[in-house]
Amino acid sequence: KRVAWCFSVKGKWDIDVIYWCKDRFEFNDLMQDIMANFNSFIELVEVSTIVDILHFNKDYLINNERDKLSIKKLGRTNYILTDIEKKILQSLSMNPVKNIIEVNKELKISINTLKKYIKQLIKNQIILGFSAFIDINNLGYNYFKLHLYLQNYKETDKKTIISYLQYDPNIVYLDFYIGGADIEIEYHVK
């Protein structure tokens, strides 16, 4: 239930997994469990902590260029979800384009209460948008992730690279980690 992303990959790694954990102790318990069960064939593990993700629209589906930025960005928050909010997010995460009547029937919460909670989640930037999950492979696109390790750079140099990259319509994510690459670029290309 903590897996946000799990893919078979080619290159330096065989598997790429992103876990969502509440704290470092939960993550440590998870890693110890994985190593106890699969240590015999795990050669190497690299752990990094995500600190920011820039998520861009899939402009390549419409244009050959990105002329307008519509960035969704991770933020810092101490927001504590209520049980109702958790149920709403769980429901929407399974189908983000589900209409409010379907959520109402599923969770047995009044429509006005649902609207109130969803507005609150949007206002507090817990919900950053609603979208369909598009199978890019069926559209003839492939997914690539490029890890950039920079050298001899200043923060202004990094910002210049980011500014350049964000206008590429095939880039859907720019990821920033502690303990990983300086910039990870996620591309959808033919």
- Residues 171-188 have pLDDT tens digits of 999 999 899 899 999 999
Q: What is the pLDDT of residue 74?
A: 72
Give me the chain's average pLDDT, please: 90
User: What's the CA gap between 4 and 19, in Å, rounded?
Assistant: 6
Nearest to 117 by CA among 84, 75, 76, 79: 84
Q: CB–CB of 53/73 below 8 Å?
A: yes
Confidence of residue 133 (pLDDT cuts 50, 70, 90): confident
Confidence of residue 65 (pLDDT cuts 50, 70, 90): confident
pLDDT tens digits, residue range 5-45?
Answer: 898 988 888 999 999 888 899 999 999 999 999 999 999 99
Query: Where does the pLDDT of residue 107 fall: very low under 50, low under 70, confident under 90, or very high at 90 and above?
Result: very high
pLDDT for residue 157: 95
User: Distance between alpha carbon 100 and the CA centroid of its chain, in Å?
Assistant: 24
Percent of the chain with pLDDT over 90: 63
Q: In terms of Cα–Cα distance, which of 84, 162, 147 is closest to 121?
A: 84
